[in-house]
């Protein structure tokens, strides 16, 4: 009698900053991997969970009812221990004893680099799914969580506009983006802001002041200014509007509210497509690739093409937002 072929284990994990769309990606990766003949596992607590053996067999119950939830049910962490070869060896042994031969990581480029080192050490292939609301991973036009974050920001700015117009005030709204101004740029354009400051676009406060004063003289009653946190200009800009333009100004820092919320339809669909592509790439023998979406097409790139390149904002967006910084 022929013995049944052992199903090969594949583990799914989330790592780095959380973003909406991670849970749909986890659910789809588990279900599609099972359809393809794998035995799917879940890793809780990111890299720390690999080391501490917080790994469980994925069941239908564990991934049911998570599609609409923001954040990640698998939780996340940043582990300094993973930089130590002995702890990586411990993580490898945890995978090996369960027959887990492949990994899918949903996160950012820091997580991808960590697993690339893990692959170099022990030969465990992985597929990466880009997930960060900053949308700052090189090689892909889109990362999971961006559309949801933009809609959270849009709703907040629309609400702030009501108060701004009621009291004829200026409001400075700071959004996330330490090194990348994507969220601020797109939010400013889609919400009709008068000022936008991001790290990638040079700004001229003197020119901005002259423009806003001219608009006020011609009937403008309120001002919306969007800044990326990486500019470190939010407090200064608020004081500057008060002092130089003469309009009462308030600062609102949106903070971590941007990370949460139920994933939008777009993020849910993108999660499914990325997850299917990740499983397919591992089945095709790819070892350390990142799923990408470029120019309307899904594909994958080697980790070196992603982790060692600097993300560049779309030049068209920069051109459109140029007048908001001058």
pLDDT band at 5 (very low <50, low <70, confident <90, very high): low
Q: Does domain 9-145+263-307 have CATH number 3.40.630.10?
A: no
pLDDT for 76 equals 92
Query: Looking at the chain, which residues constitute the CATH 3.40.50.460 domain(s)?
Result: 146-259
At residue 185, does pLDDT exceed 80? Answer: yes
Give the mean pLDDT of the chain. 95
> Could you give the CA distance from residue 6 to residue 220 in angstroms, rounded to a whole number?
70
Decide if 134 is catalytic.
yes
Average pLDDT over residues 108-120: 94
Q: Report, in angstroms and rounded to the nearest whole number, the Rg of the chain calculated over CA atoms.
A: 22
Average pLDDT over residues 95-123: 96
At residue 9, does pLDDT exceed 70? Answer: yes
Quick one: CA dihedral 40, 44, 46, 52, positive or negative? negative
End-to-end CA distance of the chain: 78
Q: How does 190-228 read in b/e, with b if 16+ C-beta sit within 10 Å?
A: ebebbbbbbbbbebebeebeebbeeebeeeeebbbbbbb
pLDDT for 308 equals 77
Average pLDDT over residues 87-110: 97
- Given 134, 136, 147, 267, which residue is catalytic? 134
Who has greater pLDDT, 309 or 217? 217
At residue 6, does pLDDT exceed 70? Answer: no
> Could you give the CA distance from residue 250 to residue 20 in angstroms, rounded to a whole number?
29
Average pLDDT over residues 186-201: 96
At residue 324, does pLDDT exceed 50? Answer: yes
Copy the structure tokens of residue 146. 């961006």
Q: Is 288 helix (H, G, I), strand (E, B) or coil?
A: strand
Q: Supply φ then ψ for residue 146, to 5 degrees.
A: -65, -45
- Pair 124, 103: CB distance under 8 Å: yes
At residue 1, does pLDDT exceed 60? Answer: no
Copy the structure tokens of residue 249. 């100004």
At residue 2, does pLDDT exceed 50? Answer: no
∠ CA 246-177-242, rounded to 5°: 5
Query: Looking at the chain, which residues constitute the CATH 3.40.50.450 domain(s)?
Result: 9-145+263-307
What CATH number is given for 146-259 in this structure? 3.40.50.460
Residues 255-274: pLDDT tens digits? 999 999 999 999 999 999 99
Residues 117-163: pLDDT tens digits? 999 999 999 999 999 999 999 999 999 999 999 999 999 999 999 99
Q: Is 151 exposed, middle or buried (0-12, 13-18, 19+ CB in 10 A)?
A: buried
Residues 203-235: pLDDT tens digits? 999 999 999 999 999 999 999 999 999 999 999
């Amino acid at each position: 009698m022929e013995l049944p072929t052992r199903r090969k284990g594949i583990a799914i994990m989330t790592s780095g900053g959380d973003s909406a769309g991670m849970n749909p990606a986890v659910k789809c990766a588990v279900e599609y991997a099972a359809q393809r003949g794998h035995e799917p596992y879940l890793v809780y607590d990111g890299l720390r969970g690999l080391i501490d053996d917080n790994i469980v067999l994925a069941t239908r119950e564990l991934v049911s009812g998570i599609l609409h939830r923001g954040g990640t049910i698998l939780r996340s962490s940043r582990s300094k221990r993973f930089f130590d070869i002995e702890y990586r060896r411990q993580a490898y042994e945890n995978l090996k004893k369960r027959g887990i031969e492949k990994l899918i990581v949903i996160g950012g480029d820091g997580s991808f680099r960590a697993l690339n080192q893990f692959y170099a050490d022990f030969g465990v292939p992985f597929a990466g799914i880009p997930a960060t609301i900053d949308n700052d991973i090189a090689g892909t036009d889109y990362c999971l969580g961006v559309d949801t974050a933009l809609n959270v920001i849009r709703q907040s700015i629309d609400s702030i506009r009501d108060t701004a117009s009621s009291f004829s005030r200026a409001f400075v709204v700071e959004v996330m983006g330490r090194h990348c101004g994507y969220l601020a740029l797109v939010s400013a354009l889609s919400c009709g802001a008068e000022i936008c400051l991001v790290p990638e676009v040079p700004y001229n406060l003197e020119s901005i002041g002259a423009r806003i004063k001219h608009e006020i003289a011609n009937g403008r009653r309120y001002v919306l200014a969007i800044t990326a946190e990486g500019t470190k200009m939010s407090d200064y800009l608020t004081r500057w509007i008060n002092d130089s333009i003469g309009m009462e100004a308030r600062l609102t820092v949106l903070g971590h509210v941007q990370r949460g919320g139920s994933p939008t339809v777009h993020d849910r669909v993108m999660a499914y497509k990325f997850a299917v592509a990740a499983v397919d790439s591992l089945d095709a023998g790819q070892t350390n690739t990142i799923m990408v979406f470029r120019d309307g097409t899904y594909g994958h790139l080697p980790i070196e093409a992603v982790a060692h390149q600097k993300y560049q904002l779309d030049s068209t967006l920069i051109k459109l937002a140029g007048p908001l910084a001058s």
